[in-house]
């Protein structure tokens, strides 16, 4: 496919055009997947990955959830960017998921369709050295390190597939933006209460150098029990740490709460106003730490 001027529905409310080469000499398919352009990685790119991995892996204990820590070694090599096919050999066996390369952010519907088919889109390019600490758009480090270990957890993996199926329906009902907020507050920025305390399972937290401490330990942000309507009403910021996180008790809870048809929820949401990022409703109280 040749998408000269792609207009993906970008993460959150960003109006920048997405980065990444969506033409690639005709290598990008209609579903936005493409071969991982492994030959284009420079030594500096591999070094960026190695340093990001090392720094992030060092701060996981006590902050990342058990499922994430257990599966991280399944990514394989840590001193260079892994080949997606090598990860797929293990991932297919574990949960039947596979990762597929994409040139960057893709539109909502093809994104949902890939998830519904247990194919997780992974951006193949890596950030520039000057973006080492922070990048707004997902790159290969965010997508691989942040997302892929959780896809080795069978219940979480089923949740993401179910999310994709729900996304296709939401898209056709005009509710894609509302449902995207559920993705944001779970898959990207979710917290889980484990017996030992609060831990992160969201990829945006787990791949961020500063947000891991902020999300799990700082007294600053609000932490609320996950509620479908509350999350789907909640706006979010894409260029700062989150000011509100939603907490689950188990991945079974996440899977079970997304079993019902969401169509009645979308109807209800039409008469419930959006909530600004970080705002609390009357009567809401933040959960304690720990």
The distance of closest approach from Cβ of residue 256 to Fe ion in the complex, given in angstroms and rounded to an integer, is 23
Question: By CB under 6 A, is residue 102 in contact with ligand HBI?
Answer: yes
Question: By CB under 5 A, is residue 52 in contact with Fe ion?
Answer: no
- 42-73 burial code (b ≥16 CB/10 A, e <16): eeebeebbeebbeebeeebeebbbebbbebbe
Helix, coil or strand: residue 100: strand
CB-wise, 19 or 287, nearer to Fe ion? 19
Contact at 8 Å (CB) between 109 and 171? yes
Rounded Cα distance between 100 and 117, Å, is 11
DSSP element (H, E) containing 191: strand 191-194
Contact at 8 Å (CB) between 286 and 246? no
The distance of closest approach from Cβ of residue 192 to Fe ion in the complex, given in angstroms and rounded to an integer, is 17
Candidate segments 59-67, 104-112, 221-229, 236-244, binder of ligand HBI by CB under 6 A = 104-112
Question: By CB under 6 A, is residue 242 in contact with ligand HBI?
Answer: no
CB-wise, 94 or 238, nearer to Fe ion? 238
The answer to whether residue 222 is catalytic is no
The answer to whether residue 142 is catalytic is yes
Footprint (CB under 5 A) of Fe ion, residues 112-141: 138
CB atoms within 10 A of CB 253: 15
Residue among 105, 140, 160, 212 that touches ligand HBI (CB under 6 A): 105
What are 8's two structure tokens? 């993906």
203 binds, options ligand HBI, Fe ion, none, Cβ within 5 to 8 A by partner type: Fe ion
Q: Residue 41: left (phi > 0), alpha (psi -120 to 50), or beta?
A: beta
Contact at 8 Å (CB) between 209 and 54? no
Contact at 8 Å (CB) between 75 and 148? yes
Footprint (CB under 5 A) of Fe ion, residues 169-228: 203
Contact at 8 Å (CB) between 33 and 121? yes
The binding track of 167-196 with respect to ligand HBI, each residue x by CB under 6 A or -, is: -------------x--x-------------
Question: Which contacts (CB < 8 Å, 24+ apart) does range 279-282 have?
Answer: 279/244, 280/222, 281/230
Rounded Cα distance between 20 and 218, Å, is 34
The distance of closest approach from Cβ of residue 106 to ligand HBI in the complex, given in angstroms and rounded to an integer, is 4
CB-wise, 136 or 280, nearer to Fe ion? 136
Question: By CB under 6 A, is residue 121 in contact with ligand HBI?
Answer: yes
Question: By CB under 6 A, is residue 111 in contact with ligand HBI?
Answer: yes
The binding track of 5-44 with respect to ligand HBI, each residue x by CB under 6 A or -, is: ----x-x---------------------------------
The distance of closest approach from Cβ of residue 207 to ligand HBI in the complex, given in angstroms and rounded to an integer, is 12
The answer to whether residue 147 is catalytic is yes
Kindly list the residues in this chain that would bind ligand HBI in the complex (CB under 6 A). Answer: 9, 11, 102, 105-106, 108, 111, 121, 123, 138, 180, 183
What are the catalytic residues? Answer: 142, 147, 188, 207
Q: Which residues bind Fe ion (CB under 5 A)?
A: 138, 203
């Amino acid at each position: 496919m040749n998408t000269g001027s792609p207009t993906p529905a970008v993460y959150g409310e960003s109006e920048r055009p997405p980065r990444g080469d969506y033409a690639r000499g005709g290598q990008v398919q209609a579903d936005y997947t493409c071969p991982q352009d492994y030959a284009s990685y420079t030594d500096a790119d591999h070094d960026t990955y190695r340093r990001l991995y090392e720094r992030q892996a060092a701060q996981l204990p006590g902050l990342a959830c058990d499922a994430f820590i257990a599966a991280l070694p399944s990514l394989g090599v840590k001193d260079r960017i892994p080949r997606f096919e090598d990860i797929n050999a293990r991932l297919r066996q574990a949960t039947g998921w596979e990762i597929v390369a994409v040139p960057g952010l893709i539109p909502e519907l093809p994104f949902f369709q890939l998830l519904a088919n247990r194919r997780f889109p992974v951006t193949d390019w890596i950030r520039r050295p000057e973006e080492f600490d922070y990048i707004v758009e997902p790159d290969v480090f965010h997508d691989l390190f942040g997302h892929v270990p959780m896809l080795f957890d069978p219940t979480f993996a089923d949740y993401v597939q179910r999310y994709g199926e729900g996304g296709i329906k939401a898209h056709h009902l005009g509710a894609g933006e509302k449902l995207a907020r559920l993705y944001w507050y779970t898959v990207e920025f979710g917290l889980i209460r484990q017996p030992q305390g609060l831990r992160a399972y969201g990829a945006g937290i787990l791949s961020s150098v500063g947000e891991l401490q902020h999300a799990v330990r700082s007294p600053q942000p609000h932490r609320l029990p996950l509620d479908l309507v509350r999350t789907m009403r909640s706006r979010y910021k894409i260029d700062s740490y989150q000011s509100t996180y939603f907490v689950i008790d188990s991945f079974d809870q996440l899977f079970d709460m997304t079993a019902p048809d969401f169509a009645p929820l979308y109807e209800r949401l039409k008469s419930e106003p959006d909530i600004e990022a970080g705002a609390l409703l009357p009567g809401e109280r933040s959960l304690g730490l720990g």
